[in-house]
Amino acid sequence: MPLPGNPLKALNSYLIEGPERSLLIDTGFNQEECRTALFDGLKSLGASLDQTDIFITHLHADHCGLVSAVATDKNVVYCSEVDARRINWGLSPEYWPENLSFVASYGFPLREFGAALLKHPGQKYSPDTEHDFSIVREGDILEVGDYRFTIVETPGHTPGHICLYEPDKKMLISGDHILGNISPNITMFYKGLPDPLGQYLRSLDKIDRMEIGLVLPGHRQVIGDVHKRIAELKHHYENRLNEVLTVLGDEIMSAYQVAAGITWDLSYTSWEQFPLEQMWFATGEAISHLEHLRQQDKVRRLECTGNYLFERVK
Ligand SMILES: [Zn+2]
């Protein structure tokens, strides 16, 4: 499904077909291009929405944005409790201003950018209305045709991220927990997990202990060797943590300043060229790395009139 203007480029939405009911995994943004691609895809597969239940891997709008468009009174939409609550909370008028003030306490220059920040795709392309989700938890089973999926909770990318594991077929539907040639955005949001990167790394270890031959991720190509990919991802985050320490050096810096100082694998040539929403993502990512380093006693967080600054522990 195309994600126009977004560096992720496209979302992989999957349909697991069963004789009576099918299961649709993730929906795309609440945006015309996604809506057309989703409905064309479902039509070409002969799927009727009344006989198709929906599984949402996590709260991000590229995965749940079209929930209101695909939910009928004859299907159910599965989601984790934590992310379901956040999807609905995201529709309240306080949600985005509160998120903005959270990121501002980490140095994001709110006053300078102001209302332009409401370009965040999570805000623009979220579902139209609240939804009464069917809550699934670790170990719950979803049966679709010959498939018997187990719910695997994998917090980190979001607090309530979930995957689907098919033990007989050794298949994992991984959402954004494990992606092919890109690393999942591990960010810290208002009232999020205290150490999302630590949680994410533990969730990687959890998947690493499972027998998996095929991963169907939320973006980019399918993955054959998941254990190799997990090792690469762990190596990537280790390098990023070291880079954050190098950028900090002997200075006292905000997370926003750290974000501006580290390297990003995006097509912009300088930090100043980053669109505001990408600066926001980058700052969230810097926060998650700094907070993880704080858990490891490698950095110290200083609080000054409600704002946070970081320095290395010598
Ligand atoms: Zn995501």
- Residue 183: closest CA among 133, 220, 146: 220
As a whole number of angstroms, the distance between CA 205 and CA 209 comes to: 6
Q: Give me ligand 1 centre to Cα 251, in Å.
A: 32
Q: Which residue ranges make up each domain of the chain?
A: 14-225
Question: What's the whole-model pTM score?
Answer: 0.92
Q: Count of CB atoms within 10 A of residue 122's CB?
A: 20
Q: Give me ligand 1 centre to Cα 113, in Å.
A: 24
Q: What is the pLDDT along the chain (314 residues), one digit of tens a residue?
A: 999 888 889 999 999 999 999 999 999 999 999 999 999 999 999 999 999 999 999 999 999 999 999 999 999 999 999 999 999 998 888 888 888 888 889 999 876 666 656 666 777 888 988 999 999 999 999 999 999 999 999 999 999 999 999 999 999 999 999 999 888 889 877 666 789 999 999 999 999 999 999 999 999 999 999 999 999 999 999 999 999 999 999 999 999 999 999 988 877 888 888 888 888 889 999 999 999 999 999 999 999 888 999 999 98
Q: Give me ligand 1 centre to Cα 147, in Å.
A: 25
Q: Give me ligand 1 centre to Cα 58, in Å.
A: 7
- Please give the C-alpha separations between residue 182 and each of 217, 223, 234, 290, in angstroms, as whole numbers: 11, 12, 13, 21
CATH topology of domain 14-225: Metallo-beta-lactamase; Chain A (3.60.15)
Q: Give me ligand 1 centre to Cα 229, in Å.
A: 18
Q: Give me ligand 1 centre to Cα 250, in Å.
A: 34
Q: Give me ligand 1 centre to Cα 264, in Å.
A: 18
Q: Give me ligand 1 centre to Cα 288, in Å.
A: 15
